[in-house]
Each structure stands twice: as structure tokens, then as C-alpha cells.
Amino acid sequence: MHVFRGLPDPRLRVPSAIAIGNFDGVHTGHQALLHGMVDAAKDRGLVPSVLTFEPHPREYFPHLDPVPRISTLFDKVKRILDCGVERIYMLPFNERIAREGAEHFVKEVLVKGLDCRWITVGEDFRFGSGRAADAHDLVNFGKEHHFETWISPLLFHGERKVSSTRVREALATGDFYETSLMLGHPYTMSGRVIHGQALGRTLGYPTLNIAPIPPGSRARPALSGVFAVRVEGILPGASIPGVASLGLRPTVTSSKRWLLETHLFDWHGDAYGRNICVRFIERIRAEQKFSGLPELTAAIRNDAARARQILGLAPGTPE
């Protein structure tokens, strides 16, 4: 399994089946498309691959609001690879790509750059400068450039199609049950534990910190607030309960840097550098700006008590 930043070196190109999309959240609709591509690749002796964009195209245009991100980059890559994909090409969305016409994109990226022999996209796929071309145009380009194109049908949950937009709507309201139905698994956020300001330790609530948004990105996570959570990746085979805050920490900084801070109950140790997975159980409250550290500390204490109650734990001793 390989992840490429941009197109591969010509010596590394292989005849490929390609699924194209942003795949934020890798929801059940995405999974159906990816599994279909993997099956088609096996039938044709091709390498199952994904072409995606980083950052999301809307982040490039300053007059557009960025799309809230469902997945960390770590989660997105893992979920795609879990579907049986062998190669992921992350194409930087920049001025050249934004201005590139549809036919030029097909010739230079799909045919010449990726040696694409079979392609699948969703019904609502658009590409080329100004999003001028659609999935049916891609079918016609395939006839000219000798690759097959499969337009993957939409997948429905209830009366509406499964989409990243619907997942974002559910996360924004803290509806993790609805989110899990559309993702096919509980909602999680994974990443490497990084150093923070150590303020939580000073207040008596040390945290494990993850940066959910890549450096330099204008995006924000699809949810924010304080949550009851469970964390994997600390102890083998164990899920450790805790309370997490996902936000901008307005009481203590004006940096506008998003951070997921998780305090684990009844566990003490060093986890810096480890990859952990935080599973969101229930939303406790929205992020707030407090008058100072004493009020913030009191709120954290209440959040921890509420999280213990949600998770079915005995009340803890003061931290």
C-alpha cells in the first residue's frame, strides 16, 4: 500500500483502476464505490487506486467557506486503505489544477499521469475549470482515450442519499447514532499525540492532544464542543474512558488553532508520539469562553463528572 503526494514518478506508474473523489468521512456510499472499484480492478488485473485532493478544492478559493472536515487526514487514508485500495494519490489542489480544463485533466492526469484503464465516480461528480464537466462527460472522454467509466449509483439512508453533507449535519447536532449509520461504524478521530501548552496538567486535568486539521488549512472540524469519549491505542486491547474538548480554546488563546484535547480517567502516563483513536460517545456542551482559569477549571470538573455519568463510571475523586 502506497500514498503518493501528487502524481507518481513515471517509473512507478502502473495500469490502474481509479476512484476519484474527496472521500471526506469515507461513508457507506464511498465504501460501496471503493469496493466496486477494487472488484473491477481484480477482474481486469489492475491496481486499485484512489485519486483525491488535499486540500479540499473549496479551501483553495478565498471567497468560499471551507467545507468542515469529517475526517482527520490519518482517518481518511486508513478508511480508504481498509476498503482494499493499494494506492492513494493526493493531488495538491492549486491554481494550476483550478484552471485546468476537463480534457487536459483527463489527458495529463488520468491517462498520462496515472495510466488509468478503468474509472469510477459518483453521479454528482464535477471536474475541470469552473466544474464545467460532469460524470457523463468523463464517459465520453473514456471512449476517446480508451478507459472504461462506471458512474456509481447513489446510496440512500432513509429518503435521502448518504453524503458527506448529511454526515456533517448529524455531527453538528451531536447525533452520533445517525452518524454511525451513515459511516458504518462509530464516529472516531485519530492521530498522533502532540505536545500542547501543558495547561491541562497545571489545572489537574492532563490531556492527550491531537491536531484534527492540517497546518495551514482554512478548514474546521465538522463538530466542536465537549464530549464523553473512549480512547484506544494507549493500552493493548483496552478502551479507556475520558472527556474531550474539541475547539479553539478561546479562554486561553487566540491562535485559531483547532485542537482535540482528551483527559483520560484513572490513567497516568506518557503517550506523546503514539497514534490514538478517540471514539465520541455523547456531546456534553458547546465550547465556551470563560472569564478566567478558575471558571474554566470548574467547568472541566463538571464536564468530567458528567462524562463519568454518561459512560457508566463511578464518580471519581477530585483530580
The pLDDT of residue 137 is above 80: yes
Asked if residue 128 and residue 32 are part of one domain, the reply reads yes
Mean pLDDT on 48-72: 87
Helices marked H in the chain: 28-44, 57-60, 73-82, 95-99, 102-105, 135-145, 164-172, 176-183, 199-203, 293-310
Q: Which structural domain range is residue 205 located in? A: 186-310
Mean pLDDT on 90-119: 91
Tell me if 317 is assigned to some domain. Answer: no
Asked if residue 265 and residue 149 are part of one domain, the reply reads no
Asked if residue 148 and residue 284 are part of one domain, the reply reads no
Question: Residue 29 belongs to a domain with what CATH number?
Answer: 3.40.50.620
Contact 278, 259 (CB under 8 A): no
Contact 301, 204 (CB under 8 A): no
Contact 298, 219 (CB under 8 A): no
Residue type present at position 221: P
Tell me if 66 is assigned to some domain. Answer: yes
The pLDDT of residue 196 is above 80: no
Mean pLDDT on 10-32: 95
* Residue after which a domain boundary falls, among 136, 155, 174: 155
Tell me if 148 is assigned to some domain. Answer: yes
Asked if residue 204 and residue 150 are part of one domain, the reply reads no
Asked if residue 141 and residue 196 are part of one domain, the reply reads no
The pLDDT of residue 14 is above 90: yes
Which of 169-178, 194-203, 298-307 is predicted least confidently? 194-203
Q: Longest Cα pair distance anywhere in the chain, in angstroms?
A: 70
**Residue 267: CA atoms inside 13 Å, Cβ hemisphere, count?**
21
* Residue after which a domain boundary falls, among 155, 173, 201: 155
Mean pLDDT for the chain overall: 91
Tell me if 255 is assigned to some domain. Answer: yes
Contact 274, 217 (CB under 8 A): no
d(CA 313, CA 129): 54
Cβ count near 16 (within 10 Å): 26
Question: Residue 208 belongs to a domain with what CATH number?
Answer: 2.40.30.30
What are the backbone angles phi and psi of residue 106, rounded to the nearest 5°? Answer: -65, -50
Residue 142: its pLDDT value, please? 94
Q: Which carries the bigger pLDDT value, residue 122 or residue 187?
A: 187
Radius of gyration (C-alpha) of the chain in whole angstroms: 22
Q: Which carries the bigger pLDDT value, residue 65 or residue 212?
A: 212
Nearest C-alpha neighbor of 182 from the set 161, 159, 153? 161
d(CA 180, CA 186): 5
Strands (E), the chain: 2-5, 16-20, 47-53, 87-91, 116-122, 126-127, 133-134, 148-152, 156-157, 160-161, 188-192, 208-210, 225-232, 239-247, 259-264, 275-285
**Strands 160-161 and 2-5, sheet pairing:** unpaired
Asked if residue 232 and residue 90 are part of one domain, the reply reads no
Residue 96: its pLDDT value, please? 83
Asked if residue 207 and residue 116 are part of one domain, the reply reads no
Read off the C-alpha cell for 98: 483550478
Tell me if 229 is assigned to some domain. Answer: yes
Which of 35-49, 72-86, 119-133 is predicted least confidently? 119-133
Asked if residue 196 and residue 144 are part of one domain, the reply reads no
**Residue 256: CA atoms inside 13 Å, Cβ hemisphere, count?**
6
Asked if residue 218 and residue 287 are part of one domain, the reply reads yes
Mean pLDDT on 2-15: 93
d(CA 234, CA 178): 28
Question: Helix, strand or coil for residue 276?
Answer: strand
Tell me if 62 is assigned to some domain. Answer: yes
* Residue after which a domain boundary falls, among 155, 173, 207: 155
- Please count the structural domains in the chain: 2
Asked if residue 201 and residue 106 are part of one domain, the reply reads no
Residue type present at position 186: P
Mean pLDDT on 165-183: 96
pTM for this entry: 0.90
d(CA 206, CA 242): 11
Residue 81: its pLDDT value, please? 97
Q: Which residue has the cell 483496552?
A: 238
- Express each pLDDT in 241-298 by its tens digit: 999 999 998 888 777 889 999 999 989 888 899 999 999 999 999 999 888 899 999 9
Residue 171: its pLDDT value, please? 97
- pLDDT range class, residue 317, cuts 50, 70, 90: low
Tell me if 96 is assigned to some domain. Answer: yes
Asked if residue 232 and residue 139 are part of one domain, the reply reads no
Asked if residue 25 and residue 141 are part of one domain, the reply reads yes
Residue 306: its pLDDT value, please? 96
Taking the C-alpha atoms of 268, 270, 273 and 278 in order, what is their torsion angle to the nearest 10 degrees? 0
Tell me if 54 is assigned to some domain. Answer: yes
Peptide bond into 186 cis (omega under 30): no
